[in-house]
């Protein structure tokens, strides 16, 4: 190490490493504690994460971004944000009046945009990602559904009501201390309310400006739903790397049914 730099009290030998990641590393210390700046940064990140959890979705703004007048807005059985956080089961079920808004049609896929645990994430990236996904030539998407106080499994009930074969759920992920605007995408083939397991879904996470860009996320999602159509399944038998590898290859080269493990 350069002796001149190491003797400078303002020199930080870990600065280059911190520039490469948003993870909390090399925080330093002052005596037996963290430097004041790091403590304040932690407090700010914690406050932002709490704000993201309690934030409400701006429905009108999101609908305007989508630009689709046929968009349907639904509500889970959770009547408030507090109840949503305390009763995850209510966030997985549609309110009775909302189910009546979902009419079956000549569709084979559904797209649900859900506030989840970070409405900020959906507000920032949801519409742009939804537009890129809905152009898939492999699926006829129903009008987009915006769901409030929603958990991932709510998409199963929505898809069942619409009578579709596949559902793509875009949902705000649980905020962390390095990201409060992360969006997740969950893919489920043959969704059925109350009977789908997490092992039957595929997830693409960390969709955000400082994580996975939504253009790249859309590419992965489109590749995976194209393969899901061929395999007639999602979950542990559908691999993201295989979907991407087959994107440029004829799908006929892949077996029509997954091989039993």
What pLDDT score does 248 carry? 62
Q: Alpha carbon of 43 to those of 36, 50, 56, 119: distances in Å?
A: 11, 11, 22, 21
Q: Is 9 contained in some domain?
A: no
Query: Cβ–Cβ contacts within 10 Å for residue 205, how many?
Result: 15
pLDDT digits (tens, 9 = 90+) for 145-164: 999 999 999 999 999 999 99
CA distance 150 to 121: 14
Q: Is 41 contained in some domain?
A: no
Query: Which range is most confident: 48-57, 102-111, 129-138?
Result: 102-111
CA distance 203 to 187: 6
The answer to whether residue 21 scores a pLDDT higher than 50 is yes
pLDDT digits (tens, 9 = 90+) for 175-217: 888 888 899 999 999 999 887 788 899 999 999 988 899 999 9
The answer to whether residue 259 scores a pLDDT higher than 90 is no
Confidence class of residue 254 from pLDDT cuts 50, 70 and 90? very low
Q: Is 48 contained in some domain?
A: no
Domain range spanning residue 63?
A: 54-253
Q: Is 225 contained in some domain?
A: yes
What pLDDT score does 9 carry? 60
What pLDDT score does 3 carry? 47
The answer to whether residue 251 scores a pLDDT higher than 50 is no
Number of domains composing the chain: 1
- In the chain, the percentage of residues whose pLDDT exceeds 70 is 90
Q: Is 73 contained in some domain?
A: yes
What pLDDT score does 28 carry? 78
Q: What CATH number does residue 60 fall under?
A: 3.40.50.11240
Q: Is 19 contained in some domain?
A: no
Confidence class of residue 143 from pLDDT cuts 50, 70 and 90? very high
Q: Is 261 contained in some domain?
A: no
What pLDDT score does 250 carry? 53
Give, for 112, the enclosing helix (H) or strand (E): strand 109-114
Q: Is 164 contained in some domain?
A: yes
SS3 assignment, position 33 = strand
């Amino acid at each position: 190490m350069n002796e001149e730099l190491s003797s400078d009290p303002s020199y930080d030998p870990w600065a280059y490493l911190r520039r490469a990641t948003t993870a909390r590393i090399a925080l330093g210390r002052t005596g037996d504690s963290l430097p004041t700046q790091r403590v304040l940064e932690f407090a700010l990140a914690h406050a932002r994460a709490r704000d993201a959890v309690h934030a409400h979705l701006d429905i009108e703004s999101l609908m305007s971004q989508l630009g689709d007048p046929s968009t349907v807005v639904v509500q889970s059985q959770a009547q408030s944000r507090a109840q949503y956080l305390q009763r995850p089961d209510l966030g997985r079920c549609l309110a009775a009046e909302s189910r009546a808004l979902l009419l079956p049609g000549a569709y084979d896929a559904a797209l649900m945009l859900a506030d989840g645990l970070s409405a900020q994430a959906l507000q920032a990236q949801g519409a742009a990602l939804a537009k890129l996904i809905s152009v898939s030539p492999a699926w006829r998407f129903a009008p987009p559904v915006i769901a409030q106080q929603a958990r991932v499994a709510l998409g199963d009930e929505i898809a069942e009501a619409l009578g579709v074969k596949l559902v793509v759920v875009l949902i705000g992920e649980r905020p962390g201390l390095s990201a409060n605007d992360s969006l997740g995408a969950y893919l489920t083939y043959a969704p059925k309310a109350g009977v789908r397991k997490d092992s039957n879904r595929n997830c693409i996470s960390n969709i955000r400006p400082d994580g996975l860009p939504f253009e790249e996320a859309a590419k992965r999602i489109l590749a995976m739903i194209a393969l899901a159509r061929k395999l007639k399944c999602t979950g542990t038998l559908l691999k993201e790397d295989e979907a991407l590898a087959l994107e440029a290859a004829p799908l006929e080269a892949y077996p029509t049914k997954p091989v039993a493990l």
